Structure 1
Amino acid sequence: MKNLFKKIGALLVAAVMVLSMCTAVFAEGPTAQIRIKNAGTNATFDYLQVIVPDTHKETGWAFATPAIAEKYKTVFNEQDDQTIIKKMIVLESANTKYEGTEPATTGQIENALEAVLGDSSIMGAATRAATAPITVTSAGVYAIKGTEDGYAYSAMAAYIAFKEYNITTGVPSNLENKEIEAKKTPTKIEKTSDDSDKVVEIGRQVTYTVTGTVPYLPSTQERFYKIKDTIKGASYNVETEGAHKNELKVAVKIGDTSYERYVSVSKDGSSFELDLSEFVKTNDNANKTITITYGATVTDTYVGNTVVAGDGNNWSKPNYGSKTEELFTGRISITKTGESKEVLEGAGFKVYKEETKNNETVKKYAKFDNNKLAGWTTNEAEATEITTGADGTVTISGLDLGTYKFKEVTAPRGYSINTNDASGTIALTTGKEKAESADDIVATNATMSDTKLNSLPSTGGMGTYLFTIIGVVVMAGAAGAFFISRRKGSEE
């Protein structure tokens, strides 16, 4: 029995050794590299073999799976796998035994690749996040999807051919490396406004500028390029009359050429979509700088404006960048107190700022809607009066940087109007050149103190009594003098 176990053990050891040797041999099979030019150092690639060698087929090639074949059949509008592959072979090399076969088009091939790479069920079997160069172990066609921060890649394909054959067996012994060039578009997009410090006031007209890159698009059946803009806290400056009434004028510049376009805004006025597909019918404009500008008017205390270039629904229609430009408004308060620092409710103020033009200082008085800025006027009578609450304070918002003055026009009951106007200032935090959030805006708030009214005589009070007593005394003295003078006269 011991000898039996020894024999079995020896056989198992031998089997393991043979398998180990076979594994080493199998691992040394032919390989090839797919080198990708123009790919970033941080780029990664998902890849999938779509066409494989098959000696049982007329062309010697076959689609890797029925699902992949269906994608090609749909794009080529052809039901026979081998006919599709023949067309692709003829496109690659006109001098083949398939002369007379209509060649495939680049567009058909790119459309089919996009269909494959855009199908998540097919891509479930793909090799993920490989780096270039990609090492493969089989001849055929590989579909490749590139991913890199800041760029959108178009679909790529690499054909790996048999390079050498065993002259004895005729079996391929080596594969041919392939070099392809990545087609990619920067997805960085910039959005700026003409207010460099990012602090505005309600009613300010702002010009926005969007800068991006025209994408390189494969020869897909649907070539389009759209830019969508969304805004809150502001309204687009649509035309108010003429042929383009209620439309937004957008200036477009591609490379050195300028265009003018008008677009409709959404019903709620919060967005518009600019269709630039006319500029990507070919790739003549690919990777050129594109700039668009348009205007809007601030309507609230915060403005958020976001632009998105591209579709973004799936990888084959990617986002070519997005950016949000934020604008902020300032706020400032005035607190009213009495002589003993008690807070005073009911003090009314009108707010103004002073502007100097042509050596002349002009006062511009503020209009408010629920204490938010609603406009300016040079007529004080048209200005809005704001009133302190129970805490003696009133706060106004929607303001730009600068100095604001408070003129008291209504004093609290029992107090007199202070004729010395108070002032406050809105500024950026020390060291900041532009606001990145509302916290970067600080206010030096205004304060004002009132005095009580001077006392006046009360009707029926001590003042009346005093005058009455004095009158009675005077009248009594006069009567006494009269009677004394009469008595003296009668004695004489």
Structure 2
Amino acid sequence: MKKTKKLMSLLLALAMIFAMSLSVFAAGDNSIQVTNAQGGETYKIYKMLDVDVNPDKTAYSYTLPADSKWASFFNTGGAGAAYVEIKNVDGTDYVTWKESGASDYEAFGKAAAAYAATTAGVTEAVSAQTPAADGSITFDGLDSGYYLITSTNGTLSMVETTPLAPQATVNEKNPNPTIDKKVKENGTAGSENSAQIGDRVEFEVKINMKKGARNYVMHDKMEDGLTFNKDSVQINGLTKGTDYTVNTPADGIAALQDDCTFEIRFAEDYLNSLTADTTLTVTYSAVLNEKADVTAGEKNEALLKWGDKNQTEWSTTTTKTYQFEILKYDAADTRKNPLAGAEFQLLKADGTEVKVVKVTDTEYRVANGNETGAGVPIVTVANNKIVVKGVDLAEYQLEETKSPHGYAKLSAPKKFEVKEGQTVLVEVENTAGHTLPSTGGMGTTLFYVVGGILVIGAAAIFIFGKRTSVNK
């Protein structure tokens, strides 16, 4: 009786993959009702064992019929043999539960569900139903026995019943797993961040795993402006290649869905080991590339699929990048018409060079690493302002490396800041060179003027001297 009661305690926690095993009494007149069932899911019930109850209904035992399709599950070498013992008495196999804990009950339920789904003859359930509008399902007309109920949802359910209760009720009260995606900005995780082309962008996804987990796959979709780094994927406490695998279209994974950039597929052995709800933190990175959109930003979204057909909503982050404009003009021009021929180098606030590539005569963008064309100067034109795309929200400097002909070069870099919600226009004045005195002009004239005065003075002295001499 003690071991028989232990078998019944299995019913209090049984059922990874909503695997619960129940027993019912009177032949053909028993029912099991599932309440709070999840809409759209399919629930199946399988008979695993017969139950033998004495006439006074004070004692019962579980038996395994000789022709049962479950024989290979319960007998030596089967998945169920780790949890139950089979004793043959007078040609009848009696089933008793081994000494173990709740985690074994759950593992037993999950093993039974896997066996039911893959074993010929067992895969034909006694009944399969979807819930009514009120979330209830009733399996009726059941023979007395020990039953397994599975759900396509693949989550845990609790059950309270007894072999002497012909109308059993199961309340499924399992929340769905959840997923929450964030992107990091200066070490803080949020729904948005900003970056410069070529920067590494770090993502974090938290998955709330449920005991009873089955067929868990995380899908991640990045827009074209983000380049995924497959080697960056890590999950706290798990081993890549053993507990999970990372797959991309380049790996030839035919099952990769939703035009995803990659998927993380959790190993069933790991999922089977879950005995309590577990939160996993998934981290990975991407590089903001040359296709980044300065208007809408780059979205990255993730969802979780589980069971046979369930999935969460997409959880989305946005990585933004920005632009600024350059207007070079003559300081004496009140209309500020663009001045051609100036060359600039873009620098960060600390003086580090930010390499750019030329897109058109009036458009440049930040280079993605050392790509072809990176490091060209920004050259102004006469017809328009210059646009530079792909910068972060940060402070920058423009250093004039060459001035237009006839103009003086800036003596110091022009500092500016790119801010959220602002159109940044960097205005740079150029002053024409000053006119210096000519050595062939004023200097020679001065000699002529002084010389003329001396000649006139000498003539006056000569005439005055002659007159004085005559008077004498």
> Taking structure 2 as the reference length, what is the TM-score of the superposition?
0.53
Q: Tell me how far 1:294 sits from its aligned partner.
A: 3.0
Give the drift of 1:367. Answer: 1.0
Q: Deviations over 1:115-142 (max 9, x none)?
A: 9xxxxxx9xx955553345567755789
Give the distance between the partners of 1:296 and 1:372, measured in 2 at CA.
19
Q: Who is 1:243 aligned against?
A: none
1:319 matched residue in structure 2: 311
- After superposition, give the CA deviation of every residue in 1:355-375 in whole Å (9 maximum; x if it has no partner): 4xxxxxx42222102322127
What is the match of residue 191 of structure 1?
Answer: 182
Given the alignment, which residue of 262, 280, 297 partners 2:270?
A: 280
CA distance in 2, matches of 1:443, 1:98: 88
Give the aligned residue type for 1:366: V
- Does residue 344 in structure 1 map to residue 341 in structure 2? no
Matched, 1:205 2:188: no
1:82-481 equivalent positions in 2, closer than 5 A: 83-84=68-69, 99-100=92-93, 106=109, 110-111=113-114, 130-134=133-137, 145=151, 153-154=154-155, 176-182=167-173, 185-195=176-186, 196=188, 198-217=193-212, 224-231=215-222, 232-237=224-229, 248-254=231-237, 259=239, 266=248, 271-277=261-267, 280=270, 282-284=272-274, 286-300=276-290, 301=292, 302-310=297-305, 316=308, 318-319=310-311, 322-338=314-330, 339-353=333-347, 355=349, 362-370=350-358, 371-374=364-367, 384-412=376-404, 415-419=407-411, 421-429=413-421, 442-452=422-432
Distance 1:163 1:264 in 2: 49
| TM-score, scaled relative to structure 1 | 0.52
Q: Is the 8 A contact 1:407 1:419 kept in 2?
A: no
State the Cα distance separating 1:235 from its structure 2 match: 3.5
TM-superposition CA deviations, 1:401-431 (whole Å, max 9, x none)? 12222233334456554546434321234xx
Q: What displacement does 1:198 show? A: 0.3
Task: Report the Cα offset of residue 327 of structure 1.
Answer: 1.1
Change (3 A) 1:347 1:273: same
Task: Determine helix, strand or coil for the equivalent of 2:113.
Answer: helix
Q: What are the Cα deviations for residues 280-324 of structure 1, in whole angstroms up to 9, with x where unaligned?
A: 2524355211122234333233544333444x6xx5253366533
Q: Check whether the contact 1:350–1:384 (CA below 8 A) recurs between aligned residues.
A: no
- Alignment check: 8 A CA contact 1:142 1:158 kept: no
Residue type at the aligned position of 1:207: E
> C-alpha separation between the residues in 2 aligned to 1:292 and 1:351?
39
Distance in structure 1 (CA, Å) of the matches to 2:91 and 2:69 = 12
- Give the superposed CA RMSD: 5.7
What percentage of aligned pairs have identical amino acids? 15
| Aligned length, in residue pairs | 346
Aligned-partner Cα distance in 1 for 2:308–2:158: 14
Q: Give the letter for the 1:252 counterpart.
A: I
Q: How does 1:61-72 map to 2 (within 5 A)?
A: none
Is the Cα contact below 8 Å between 2:110 and 2:272 reproduced in 1?
A: no
Whole-Å Cα distance in 2 between the matches of residues 185 and 83 of structure 1? 34
CA contact (8 A) 1:154 1:217 kept: yes
Structure 1 distance, partners of 2:425, 2:434, is: 29
Change in 2 beyond 3 A, CA 1:190/1:421: closer
Change (3 A) 1:286 1:162: closer
Distance in 2 (CA, whole Å) between partners of 1:268 and 1:108 is: 34
* Superposition deviation, residue 49 in structure 1: 7.7
Deviations 1:219-240 (A, max 9, x none): xxxx654444444433345xxx
Task: Answer yes or no: is the 8 Å Cα contact 1:279–1:285 preserved in 2.
Answer: no
Cα-to-partner distance string for 1:251-271 (whole Å, 9 max, x where unaligned): 3224xxx65669777476994
Mind listing any 5+ residue stretches in structure 2 that lack a counterpart?
1-28, 51-66, 97-107, 119-124, 252-259, 359-363, 456-472
Q: Which has the higher helix share?
A: 1
Gap regions ≥5 residues in structure 1: 1-29, 53-58, 60-81, 116-121, 147-151, 165-174, 238-246, 356-361, 430-441, 458-462, 479-492
Equivalent-residue separation in structure 2 for 1:376 and 1:274 (angstroms): 28
Residue in structure 2 matched with residue 241 of structure 1 by the alignment: none
